[in-house]
Structure 1
Amino acid sequence: MRAFTGSTYLTAVLLNEILGQVKEILTPELGRTNLVSALMHERTLDRTAATLAVWELYERTGCLALALQAQLLNDPRPHVATLAAQLPQWIPAALNYMTDAARYMEIPGHGTLTPLTVTLTDTPVFWHRENLTPPPFSDIAWWWDQAAR
């Protein structure tokens, strides 16, 4: 259950990190730092490579959330099955919010961004959905072990 909820929420958080870097780029004076810029610094990557690394982690985490959801949908406890069915709705909801909310679209001193057009698909770009190899982050790698149970 912890791995499922963590991976579901982290998927939404990673989308925030990818889309939120626009504010960091346009308003560096505010001192915002997100995961993309942290990876740029830590791994000496350019912004494109760091964004792709975060996108891959997003896909890996999302694939894990879906695999864990499939396991929990048949849980004999009704509240667990209900949570499994409903919690992943946070992912498209977060994406919808981030591509339309003033918090993300209004950049101080730079006006308002044009809302993004986003198409959701269940086919990852960089990661195979069946590949549940954990990423090299020890704090969350154990989540992937839960999918084998």
Structure 2
Amino acid sequence: MKTKLKLAACLLVGLTFSANAQKTVITKTDLPANAQTFLKTHFAGQEPSYIIKDKETFATDYKVQFTNNIEVEFDAKGNWEEVDGNHTSIPVAIVPKTIASYIKTNFANTSVTKISKDYKGYEVDINNGLELEFNSKGSFLRIDN
């Protein structure tokens, strides 16, 4: 009986937090300054289809969708967390130099189609179907498929 009560309490807490999530459509000028600079640098001349601000209980993040299906996700401070080309190449300048060099040396004639980063490091998808993992300094760790 106690476990059922605990489970019910956990579900209620989870529902409360998910009910507090708010997604709103915003404009480029509503993005944090870092995100605006990133978009001007890497996507100059491209207008987003839409930008969503996702405000949750403990975090806020932003998702920018372009007409060519490239998606960019930013944290609350406007730092990029993920750039997803949805199986098309993303701008090479986004990829840290050590990672780009590793890919050029070991996987010639491929391009990066997705990159995401967190406190542990980077995950990089290349157009031959491989997913590569790198540490936070850009050193290769493993192929993850």
Q: TM-score, normalised by structure 2?
A: 0.23
Q: Which has the higher strand share?
A: 2
Q: TM-score, normalised by structure 1?
A: 0.23
Q: Which has the higher helix share?
A: 1
Query: Radius of gyration: which is bigger?
Result: 2
Greater relative contact order, per chain length (Cα 8 Å cut-off, separation 6+): 1
